[in-house]
Chains A and B, each alone.
Chain A
Amino acid sequence: MQVFNAFLRVLRSKFGASAIYIVLFFIVGIIMTRTNSADNVWEKTQLAIVIEDNDNTPESRMLAEFVSKGNKIVEPFENDDDLTDAMYYERVDSVMTIPEGYAKRLASGDTEELITHRHIHDSYSVVNVRMLIEKYVNSVEAYLKLGRTTEEASRAAAEALANEAEVTILTESEGNDTPENDLLMFLRYMPYILLCVILNSLCPALIAMNKKDIRFRTDCSGIRPHSYTMQLFGASAVYVGAIWLVFLVIGTLMSGAMVSGRLWLAVANSLLFALFAAVLSLFVSEFSPSSTVVSLLTQLVSLSMCFLCGIFVDQALLGSGVETVSRFLPAYWYIRIIRMLGGDIPFDSGEAALALGIQAGYVLMFVLLTMMVRRTRYVNVVPRKATA
């Protein structure tokens, strides 16, 4: 157990740096979870609209009131640059300007380019605003044809448009805004946190253990290389297990969820991914990169895996080509299980087992690769002959 203990001592000496990573990624995890929590009860996606009413008549106010119903009305911006930024970053979908003379033109049936609609993206939200306005104006025109006054027609149009089609969300686990969903949302971002924290904190300790001087001293001792490797793996597993447990407990406490039923699958899923991050650290450390390269490599691996596999951006949004590539990465199978449990895709126990199996396969593959590299780099090294 000497290597095991020595490795834990090295880890402890480097814990200061690891703690910084743990704290930062803990905060990142909370922010990501809080800003993306979801439930399965239908509600319309709110539009954020700036309304400029230059007519200020009962008719224009009724239009403004209709548009504002169920949507978010943003106060006009003092600065046009701020408005442009808000529209670019989609905090404001569009600006609707009701011109002077709106009521008169509405009454006369002159509705061509009646409303000014300013936007940046030709997105679904912008189309939705346009559709709302057009439906409203056309409905008012229809009621005017029935002999109503403009005010009566506006009121009737708003009432008619309030009769919307009923919508239900179809998922495997229907209709629950539960703490379990919050825990799943936390677990969704766990691969990024685990990769960053484990690679950044485990690699420096492993690299220290692989230093030439320490290695040569160990090689001279009575410890067999196989035992050395196994003790190193064991100590890494203990450390990674502790990190994983800390984040899991934090996630559970934050969501208030009780782990039960299928949630155990999500827990096992995250443990397997933590093990993958650990063996990846072991593999990377075999090449003794500098600490700076470890940091860059960590970002490269974590960001690329999370973007490609649908952790940061929904898997459904990524194209089929991206999905084909990401199937070769363990994070894809990780998120697949989370999506099944969240009800995004139907739950299939066979596919869930396959996803776990593939992740376990990656763990095994990196263990074998690490052992192979160790054997090639360290065990078969022939010491140079001492020169006179």
Chain B
Amino acid sequence: MFLHNLKYELKLVFRAKDFILWMMLFPIFLGTLFKVAFGSIYANNEMFNTIPVAVVQTSENEVFAGMLTALTEGEEPALKATVTDDETARKMLFDGEVTGIVYVGETVELSVSGKGMSQTVLQEIISQCNLYETVIRDAIATDPASVQSAIQALSAEVKVCREVSSNADNTDVYVQYFYNLIAMVAICGNMTGLHIATDNQANQSTLGARKNCSATPKRVNLLAGLAGSYIAQSACMILCVTFLRFVLGIHFGGNMLLLYFAAILSGFLGVTMGFFVGCAGRMKQDIKEAISMTVSMGLCFLSGLMMGNMKGILAEHAPWVNRVNPVAIMSDSFYCLNMYSDYRRFITKIVGMLIYIVLFATLGVVLSRRKKYASI
């Protein structure tokens, strides 16, 4: 009976063409869009690149002229300077062609169009001019003969820092949007899970009323429904990961087989969560769908789908949210595969997902048992 029901459940799921199509189109479309939008942000905006500046000279400043030459030369210069007039410089600034305008006179001043780390770095670079002037002034006051050695010490190209960087596969912080996209596809599986529950409740659908009258035990119906949805959702998850990895070329980092495993398990969690929402209470189906969708989107928001820094903000102010949010657990499992060479944290996340799956399935089954309908 279970296999019979499973067969028809699968037919039902795969014949709901519009839903399946959307579930498959969804990651393809959004993934492509993310790739277009974020493909080069990390390399172009996050990673340090030569900073373009406009230089407006109001009078001669020898110290700055010397410094500017040093900063704009070499294989990877710190600055790319365009000497121009004030009007053009402002236009360049507002058009985003330059990060700032350096006004050179007796003193050196900087104008920017916004606050940010690139502007702060630019200020630090430009401030070197003031540093040189102060040191030279102090040197003249102390010992004029040592001015040259002091300048040499200031401009010495000594590598003061021993750099220790991460051994992660991919440090691109924007890849987390793709982790969250996979998690979103998984959590959207709650719609199929919700339908299993409503299709087995006599007060929610005509199909549910017929099923309740049949001789098939409810648990068999529910288990077959869940198994069918798991299979359909797994197909969506495999397609999603395959498309992102092999068509768009997103480098997730870590073991791909484990990534597929985590994605499929995430899909199971999404379906089971929807099943639980469907079984809880006697609300109308559209209310349950609204709850399911809003809760999912809320969880996706907290996991950083709309704002990449959300997980970091929560880690600082309410770290427990990241630990209990199912979507955050899903995306963290992909992240752990990328960042950590051992599987300790990945296993923790997998166990977290399993706990949720068992919890939602048990609660769903318990809530759907022994329901009586006085009037349908």
Contacts and interface: CB of A to CB of B under 8 A. Distances in A.
Interface in B118-166: 118-121, 123-131, 134-135, 138-139, 142-143, 146, 149-156, 158-166
Contacts of A131: 121, 124-125
Interface in B8-29: 16, 18-19, 22-23, 25-26, 29
Contacts of A16: 284, 287, 290
B254 to A, nearest CB: 14
B376 interface: no
B297 A196 contact: yes
A161 interface: yes
B19 A290 contact: yes
Given A90-B309, A123-B48, A141-B153, A295 B135 contact: no
B143 A165 contact: no
Interface in B254-302: 284, 286-287, 289-291, 293-294, 297-298, 301
Interface residues of B toward A: which range?
35 or more
Contact of B294 (A21, A289, A300, A321): A21
A139 B112 contact: no
Contacts of B162: 113-117
A306 B34 CA distance: 11
B40 A319 contact: yes
15 contacts: A21-B294, A42-B112, A88-B166, A119-B164, A124-B121, A138-B160, A164-B127, A165-B107, A167-B112, A168-B110, A291-B286, A295-B293, A296-B19, A303-B305, A306-B306
Contact of A164 (B123, B139, B151): B123
A40 to B, nearest CB: 9
Interface residues of A, number: 104
Interface stretch (B208-216, B243-251, B312-320, B353-361): B312-320
A123 B117 contact: yes
B173 A133 contact: no
Interface stretch (B90-98, B199-207, B225-233, B366-374): B90-98
B46 interface: yes
A239 interface: no
A123 B123 CA distance: 16
A196 B135 CA distance: 59
Contact of B123 (A163, A165, A300, A313): A165
B76 to A, nearest CB: 11
Interface of B: 16, 18-19, 22-23, 25-26, 29-30, 33-34, 36-41, 44-48, 90, 93-94, 96, 101, 107-121, 123-131, 134-135, 138-139, 142-143, 146, 149-156, 158-166, 168, 171, 173, 184, 188, 191, 195, 284, 286-287, 289-291, 293-294, 297-298, 301, 305-307, 309, 311-313, 315-316, 335, 339-340, 345
B188 A296 contact: yes
A113 B39 CA distance: 34
A89 B315 contact: yes
Contact of A88 (B39, B173, B345): B173
A304 B135 contact: no
A290 B18 contact: yes
B173 A121 contact: yes
Contact of A117 (B29, B142, B161): B161
A111 B158 contact: yes
A295 B138 contact: no
B290 A167 contact: no
A327 interface: no
Interface string A289-301: 1111101110110
B301 A28 contact: yes
A238 interface: no
A89 B176 CA distance: 9
A21 B297 CA distance: 10
Given A45-B120, A113-B161, A322-B36, 18 more contacts: A17-B287, A17-B289, A27-B298, A45-B115, A81-B340, A112-B159, A117-B162, A132-B124, A138-B153, A141-B154, A147-B143, A160-B134, A160-B138, A165-B109, A168-B112, A296-B191, A319-B39, A344-B113
Contacts of A89: 173, 309, 311-312, 315
A86 B315 CA distance: 8
A123 B47 contact: yes
A161 to B, nearest CB: 6
A233 interface: no
A87 interface: yes
A239 B39 CA distance: 39
Interface in A119-159: 119-128, 130-135, 137-139, 141-147, 156, 159
Contacts of B171: 88, 120-121
B26 A139 contact: no
A137 B161 CA distance: 10
A346 B113 CA distance: 11
A24 B110 contact: no
Contact of A84 (B94, B127, B139, B166): B166
A85 interface: yes
Nearest to B162: A113
A121 B46 contact: yes
A12 interface: no
A143 B127 CA distance: 18
